[in-house]
Homo-oligomer: A and B are copies of this chain.
Amino acid sequence: MLNQQELVERMREWAVRVTPQRLAIAEVVLNSTDHPTVQQIYERVKGHFPSMTLATIYSTLGVLQKSGLIQELPFQKQSRYEPNMEPHVNLVCIECENVIDADTDPAVHDVVLGLRKQIADNSDFEVAWQRVDFYGLCPRCSEAKKRGQLSEV
């Protein structure tokens, strides 16, 4: 999505220092589509930085969030991180807990933007960003559940 050059430029705007660790973490999150958890980010980065700890990852994610590059998505058990700041819909499977962006029909983007405008016009609330999650069963888990029912108990 964002090449390393652009990334460095974006980082210089806000983070006082650009470190290789931060670059690696930013690259992993910004190029992900599965809304990784801190653990997952850790696993994807530790190949390059075996000494890196979770504290550094948490710290960097905080910086990325403040800079507006990513969004923390708190869930029941732990947070996930969203690199797609465009208005969109997340599909959250309540069975396997995977989170994906809803198939990006451009209309969805516009509908969410429209909702946002509607709020802006009808209240004094200043919207900065939004989170739209649809919870349910992904096709895979839905299937599994149906099959499971037949043999249950």
Give the B-binding residues of A (Cβ under 8 A). Answer: 72, 74-76, 79, 89, 91, 93-94, 102-103, 105, 107-108, 111-112, 114-116, 118-119, 122-139, 142
B-chain residues with CB within 8 Å of residue A134 when the two chains form the complex: 116, 119, 125, 127, 129-130
| Sample (30) of A-B pairs whose CB atoms are under 8 Å apart | A74-B74, A76-B79, A91-B119, A91-B123, A91-B125, A91-B127, A93-B125, A94-B128, A102-B119, A102-B123, A107-B118, A108-B115, A111-B111, A111-B114, A111-B115, A111-B118, A112-B115, A115-B132, A123-B139, A124-B138, A124-B142, A125-B139, A126-B136, A126-B137, A127-B134, A129-B136, A130-B134, A131-B132, A131-B133, A132-B133
